Amino acid sequence: MRRQYKMIYYKTDEDLEKMRISADLVSRTHGVIASMIKPGITGKEIDQAAEEFICDHDAKPGFKGYGGFPATLCISVNEQVVHGIPSDKPFEEGDIVSIDCGVYLNEFFGDCAFTFPIGEITPEALKLLHVTNESLYRAIDVATVGKRIGDIGYAVQNYAEKEHKYGVVRELVGHGVGKDLHEDPQVPNYGRRGKGIQIKDGLVIAIEPMINMGTRRVKTLKDGWTVVSTDRKPSAHYEHTVVARKSGTEILTTHEHIYKALKDNDEIIDLDFPRKN
């Protein structure tokens, strides 16, 4: 039986074995995406390939139909922060494209996101990707047993907002992951050290910095899903699902399949992130 603290479900070893399988599949799905993404391809083409890959592995897309969302992937281009709906518009050289994917397998969800550069991008956009990716790992560094949720948010905010003057989105947050796609606790990308619930053994959360090049302010478009920066400057988004254990925090998802695929994808520049997982 899963242990419950308020509305937070701490995962057992048996739960985590199943979650590792879900996390592996969502990570490998991102590898398929990375092998395809380039100028000229459309979000709908990538979405179809991802759905076929997930279903071929006896799993279900975690997002499709969730709250009425119409696709397998959230594909958000340039000023789109998150929840973009895949379209027939081809990606163009210089775009940055955030792709968020979820799968449901063995009664548990896996959740992971990555922002891709399309061809050559501007130095300013490349810096945004680097800072956002690094803020993810700084958050993971403090997502340890005994720390608090506020420590995670502070790590992102201090690095992205205080050091680099970017906008840290407030309206959208990370979250617990398990038998539901979104579980307690919420995991904001801003906060104060030492505040919020204490992190305990078995807590599984999705940490997902959403960082805007300009203002932190966002709005939702008329489609009811797509969230954009109000100044229409680019936004980046990276996400891992992690579990806090007494022995140390384990990153359940991985971006390694992405990096392997990108090595063979001549259309995408080498991101050269200092930390890759």
Examine the pLDDT at 237 and tell me if it is beyond 90. Answer: yes
Q: Look at residue 2 and tell me whether its pLDDT is greater than 50.
A: no
- Quote the pTM value: 0.96
Q: Which fold has domain 3-263?
A: Creatine Amidinohydrolase (3.90.230)
Tokens of 125: 């956009």
Q: Please calculate the CA angle 192-238-180 and round it to the nearest 5 degrees.
A: 80
The mean-pLDDT minimum among 38-47, 228-237, 262-271 falls in 262-271
Peptide bond into 185 cis (omega under 30): yes
Domain boundary assignment for the chain: 3-263
pLDDT of 5 > 80? The answer is: no
Taking all residues of the chain, what is their mean pLDDT, rounded to a whole number? 96
What pLDDT, on a 0 to 100 scale, did the predictor assign at position 6? 58
Of residues 105 and 1, more confidence is placed in 105
Residue entry with tokens 């700084």: 138
What's residue 270's pLDDT? 81
Output the pLDDT for position 55: 98
**CA dist 64 → 28, 91, 97, 106, 134 (Å):** 18, 22, 19, 17, 29
Mean pLDDT for the stretch of residues 28-37: 97
Decide which of 214 and 277 is more confident.
Answer: 214
- Any idea how long the chain is? 277
Q: What's the confidence (pLDDT) of residue 267?
A: 75
Among 105, 29, 118, residue whose Cα is nearest residue 72: 29
pLDDT bracket for residue 1 (50, 70, 90): very low
* 191 backbone φψ class: left, alpha, beta (φ>0; ψ -120 to 50): left
pLDDT at 276 over 90: no
